[in-house]
Amino acid sequence: MKRSHYFIAVPLTSEAKQAIARFSGDAALSLPFRTWVHEEDYHITLAFLGDVPPGKMAPLCEAMAAVAAKSAPFSLVLAGLGTFGERTAPRVFWQGVETEEALNGLRGDVYEACTKLGFALDRRPFAPHITIARKWQGAEPFRPDMLRSLSAARAVFSVPEIVLYRTNIERTPKYEAIAVFPLLGAPMNDRK
């Protein structure tokens, strides 16, 4: 039996997904990546958990509900493009978002809660992004200037919740929402 992988993420609105999908369709004409992410799978990962033993699922959901309850909804702006991996053969092509302290704070709270539950999390600095494509397979080496001619998707979208997703490798789209945690905190300007 295959193990499932889980992660906590910020979902995107339909409008943001559609904007990225339109961009992705255009970009695929000039950038030969092996796989392009399905529109329904766009998200911003906050914490990759890997396998979650059955006994940890309820405590994980309780912890994420508590994090979400104290976090206020906020908005993000799509901005910028980039890659991860080898410079001439990147493994990931992504769309970024403008820096937003609420997102960084939320990610910090999610990380802290998951670490307290014993999850071994990635220690690299947080680089919020939406994966668009994977595995460069061009006949020529990838050059970062190839991205300069592209107009990245633009959209402002609200973040009213975080989601626990399960990966289903054999399906498309492959990410399945297992639990949704509404952000219930008061916005900063509403706090006394």
The one catalytic residue among 24, 83, 109, 129: 129
Beta strands in the chain (DSSP E): 5-11, 33-36, 43-50, 74-86, 89-97, 129-136, 156-159, 161-167, 175-182
Q: Is 43 a catalytic residue?
A: yes
CA distances 50 to 18, 39, 64, 116, 122, Å, are: 28, 22, 16, 16, 11
* DSSP at 186: P
* N residues, the chain: 192
Residue of 17, 43, 107, 134 with catalytic role: 43
Report, as residue numbers or ranges, the catalytic residues: 43, 129
